Amino acid sequence: MTEISSLIASIACKCPRCGEGDLFNTGLSNLTLRDACDKCGLDLKKNDSADGPAVFLIFVLGAALVPMALIFENLVAPPLWVHAVLWGTIALAVTIGSLKPIKSLVIGIQYRHRPADWE
């Protein structure tokens, strides 16, 4: 795979080697990585993304949401409970929606740039 198609496959939660197998289990445990790719057999237990995706998400969300909340406060000046509900909901939705693609992206980057870890 080219570097771009590898990146796209990673964001789509697909295997970084073949781009076809799913990285995550389905059903209730859909946040859990599979042990191996069901298409090419890549051992996914060798990934070492650890807390990287969560930390990356915290930095990006914090840098994006705090200025948006400050601008919203200056323009609209809503009651505090509106801020709590609005920004809490947005933060939760963005976190839940993007954690798997970001974890998958980190795994894809590690696969591309640290190939010795996967042998």
Of the candidate residues 6, 9, 13, 15, the single one contacting Zn ion (CB under 5 A):
15
Q: Counting contacts by CB under 5 A, is residue 44 touching Zn ion?
A: no
Of the candidate residues 6, 21, 105, 110, the single one contacting Zn ion (CB under 5 A):
21
Write out the two tokens for 111.
């696969």
CA atoms within 13 A of residue 64's CA, in its CB half-sphere:
11
Nearer residue to Zn ion within complex by CB, 36 or 69: 36
Q: How far is CA 42 from the centre of its chain?
A: 20
Q: Using CA atoms, how far apart are residues 111 and 17, in angstroms rounded to an integer?
A: 8
Of the candidate residues 37, 102, 105, 106, the single one contacting Zn ion (CB under 5 A):
37
Nearer residue to Zn ion within complex by CB, 3 or 51: 3
